[in-house]
């Protein structure tokens, strides 16, 4: 019989027996749900007490169109959403900047003003939905300021403001994406603004989650589950240590730190991965960061089924893939889940495909009984053995990154990119040789498959609408207030103080995303060409 391995290279036995667990210490390895080391889940009642958040990825066209999609999916039973921004916004440019031409609204929603964010959330029951802003620094500093300013305008007590601000400074760790990112903003200042966001959340927004590591995007580069976990946790450790340098204690901020990870097609490895990450993160928080409270050691994560597993050939098969990957995440104990739409290899999701992705989760939650028992995989000889092996390999890789000086130095040295390229090349080799089967791609192909309906972006119309809006917006704002606020951004950027209050003053005065980024670049003497 041919040797069998997981995608992370863990050799699998034909059958697992009690001796594969060695001297298994239940309390040390597992314990109870809601108790350290949280292997069985961060909460005592898990899905028996509350179903995971049924999340959808939102954002396209204009703020108004995005708002319509949120309202529609909320009526269909969505309980949370992740807002994605378009490429120009993600690099700190307004929709009317020349660099934005042809890209406005095509990969997410354009956000240039506080009004834009207010339009996205107009009429949306924010108190009932769990909102995640999928944005990296330096832009996350501006969107957080907008989110808080919007809450203040609506009389929301900031101590009760909930949601999640993604804040991963190494959102893209290699190649073109990283080079593009640092072409428009220097890496050291990206890191500074990342820590500013986390510090502001810790000091003033006790109910708002912050996410220093986006393992999902790391995994989408082609790396293994071990890489995904180790890179993400190394990033979270780095930001946590920077917060401690600013005088915060671990128990002041770790209880609101969250992660975002992929759930891939290898069902057993993915379920074991989440269990291993919970146990390892608990130990890292206690033994390395010095957290005293158990809740500070909880690994809480959002999850999305792997976009990289979706195929353009026979795309309806992707419905099956998303269902299997959703089950892996649920049995792995994730806190929220997004099922990728079957047409995402071809286009942005249509309304119908987005609804179907939501229905996958609803069937799993309401019809299968999958949430009736907490951590039903516990005690499986195979799962517990695989969990142990993955935890060991994750920890070894974190130690290797530490030996390089941490995740930032590993990125700068090019080691992260080498690992990504090696993993990506090896997977392509396996697919091309047929070692890894992709149904509909390298096996069971169908040359006569019928095309599906897909979403066609209307980028020219969206761009015209956005340019027209920004022209009108700039005419009706008070220029003197905007100038004073932007001067305040420049002044604060020249210090080591937290930038969020100054940026909040700027967005409230009417400064745009692009103007705020220009002011920050000017303050540090940073220029770029495009």
In the chain, the percentage of residues whose pLDDT exceeds 90 is 90
In the chain, the percentage of residues whose pLDDT exceeds 70 is 98
Mean of pLDDT values over 386-403: 98
Distance, in Å, from the CA atom of 511 to the CA atom of 509, rounded to the nearest integer, reads 6
Q: Is residue 30 in a domain?
A: no
Using DSSP bridges, classify how beta strands 130-134 and 80-84 pair: parallel, antiparallel or unpaired.
parallel
Task: Say if residue 195 is preceded by a cis peptide, omega within 30 of 0.
Answer: no
Q: Is residue 230 in a domain?
A: yes
As beta bridge partners, residue 11 has 5
| Residue 175 pLDDT | 52
Mean of pLDDT values over 362-376: 97
| Residue 344 pLDDT | 95
Distance, in Å, from the CA atom of 29 to the CA atom of 260, rounded to the nearest integer, reads 24
Cite the beta strand spans of 241-312 per DSSP E: 257-263, 301-305
Query: Is residue 312 within 8 Å of residue 346, measured between CB atoms?
Result: yes
**What torsion do the CA atoms of 221, 223, 224, 225 make, to the nearest 10 degrees?**
-50
Q: Is residue 465 in a domain?
A: no
| pLDDT at residue 462 tops 70 | yes
Q: Is residue 484 in a domain?
A: no
Q: What letter would DSSP give residue 91?
A: T
| Residue 3 pLDDT | 85
Q: Is residue 458 in a domain?
A: no
Domain harbouring 358, CATH code: 3.20.20.240
Query: Is residue 134 within 8 Å of residue 143, measured between CB atoms?
Result: no
Using CA atoms, how far residue 286 sits from 68, 102, 211, 291, 513, in Å, is 44, 48, 19, 5, 39
For the stretch 244-287, pLDDT in tens is 999 999 999 999 999 999 999 999 999 999 999 999 999 999 99
Let me know the angle formed at the C-alpha of 320 by 316 and 324, rounded to the nearest 5 degrees: 155
For the stretch 118-158, pLDDT in tens is 999 999 877 777 899 989 999 999 999 999 999 999 898 99
For the stretch 199-249, pLDDT in tens is 999 999 999 999 988 999 999 999 999 999 999 999 999 999 999 999 999
Residue 54 belongs to domain spanning:
50-433
Q: Is residue 511 in a domain?
A: no
* 391 alpha carbon, distance to own chain's centre: 21
In the block, tokens 């994605």 appear at 84
Total count of domains within the chain: 1
Q: Is residue 498 in a domain?
A: no
Q: Six-digit token pair at 511?
A: 């400064």
Biggest alpha carbon–alpha carbon distance for the chain: 76
| pLDDT at residue 174 tops 60 | no
Task: Say if residue 280 is preceded by a cis peptide, omega within 30 of 0.
Answer: no
Query: Is residue 202 within 8 Å of residue 243, measured between CB atoms?
Result: yes
For the stretch 72-106, pLDDT in tens is 999 999 999 999 999 999 999 999 999 999 999 99
φ, ψ at 163 (rounded to 5°): 125, -170
In the block, tokens 């005293």 appear at 292
Q: Six-digit token pair at 482?
A: 């905007």
| pLDDT at residue 383 tops 90 | yes
Mean per-residue pLDDT over the chain, rounded: 95
Query: Is residue 171 within 8 Å of residue 214, measured between CB atoms?
Result: yes
The count of C-alpha atoms lying within 13 angstroms of the C-alpha of 201, restricted to the half-sphere facing its C-beta, is 31
| Residue 419 pLDDT | 94
Burial bucket for residue 12 (CB in 10 Å: 0-12, 13-18, 19+) = middle
Q: Is residue 256 in a domain?
A: yes
For the stretch 408-419, pLDDT in tens is 999 999 999 999
Distance, in Å, from the CA atom of 183 to the CA atom of 530, rounded to the nearest integer, reads 9
């Amino acid at each position: 019989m041919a040797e069998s391995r997981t995608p992370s290279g863990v050799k699998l036995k034909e059958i697992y027996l009690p001796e594969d667990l060695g001297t298994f210490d239940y309390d040390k390895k597992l314990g109870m749900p809601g108790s350290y080391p949280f292997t069985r889940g961060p909460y005592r009642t898990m899905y028996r007490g509350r179903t995971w958040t049924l999340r959808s990825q939102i954002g396209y066209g204009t703020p108004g169109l995005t708002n319509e999609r949120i309202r529609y999916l909320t009526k269909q039973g969505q309980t949370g959403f992740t807002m994605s921004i378009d490429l120009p916004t993600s690099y700190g440019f307004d929709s009317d900047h020349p660099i934005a031409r042809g890209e406005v609204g095509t990969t997410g929603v354009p956000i240039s003003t506080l009004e834009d964010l207010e339009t996205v959330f107009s009429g949306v029951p924010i108190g009932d939905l769990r909102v995640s802003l999928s944005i990296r620094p330096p832009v996350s500093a501006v969107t957080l300021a907008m989110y808080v300013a919007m809450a203040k305008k609506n009389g929301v007590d900031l101590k009760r403001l909930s949601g999640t601000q993604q804040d991963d400074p190494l959102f893209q760790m290699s190649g073109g994406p990283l080079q593009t990112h640092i072409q428009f903003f220097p890496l050291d200042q990206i890191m500074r603004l990342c820590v500013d966001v986390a510090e502001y959340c810790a000091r003033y927004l006790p109910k708002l989650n912050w996410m220093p590591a986006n393992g999902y995007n790391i995994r989408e580069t082609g790396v293994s589950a071990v890489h995904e976990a180790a890179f993400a946790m190394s990033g979270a450790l780095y930001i946590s240590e920077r917060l401690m340098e600013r005088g915060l204690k671990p128990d002041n901020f770790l209880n609101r730190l969250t992660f975002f990870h992929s759930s891939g097609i290898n069902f057993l490895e993915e379920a074991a991965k989440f269990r291993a990450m919970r146990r390892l993160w608990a130990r890292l928080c206690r033994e390395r960061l010095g957290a005293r409270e158990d809740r500070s050691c909880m690994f809480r994560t959002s999850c999305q089924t792997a976009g990289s597993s979706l195929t353009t050939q026979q795309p309806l098969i992707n419905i099956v893939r998303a269902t299997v990957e959703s089950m892996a995440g649920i049995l792995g104990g994730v806190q929220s889940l997004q099922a990728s739409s079957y047409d995402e290899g071809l286009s942005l999701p249509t309304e119908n495909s987005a609804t179907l992705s939501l229905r996958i989760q609803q069937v799993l939650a309401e019809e299968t009984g999958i949430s009736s028992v907490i951590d039903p995989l516990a005690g499986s000889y195979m799962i517990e053995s695989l969990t142990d092996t993955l935890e060991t390999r994750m920890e070894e890789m974190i130690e290797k990154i530490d030996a390089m000086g941490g995740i930032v130095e590993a990125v700068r040295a090019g080691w992260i990119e080498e690992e990504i390229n090696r993993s990506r090349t090896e997977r392509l080799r396996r697919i091309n040789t047929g070692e890894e089967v992709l149904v509909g791609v390298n096996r069971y192909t169908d040359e006569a498959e019928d095309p599906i309906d897909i979403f066609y972006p209307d980028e020219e119309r969206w761009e015209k609408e956005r340019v027209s809006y920004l022209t009108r917006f700039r005419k009706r704002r008070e220029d003197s207030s905007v100038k004073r606020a932007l001067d305040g951004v420049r002044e604060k950027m020249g210090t080591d103080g937290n930038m969020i209050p100054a940026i909040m003053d700027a967005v409230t005065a009417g400064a745009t995303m692009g103007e705020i980024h220009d002011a920050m670049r000017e303050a540090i003497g940073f220029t770029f060409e495009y």
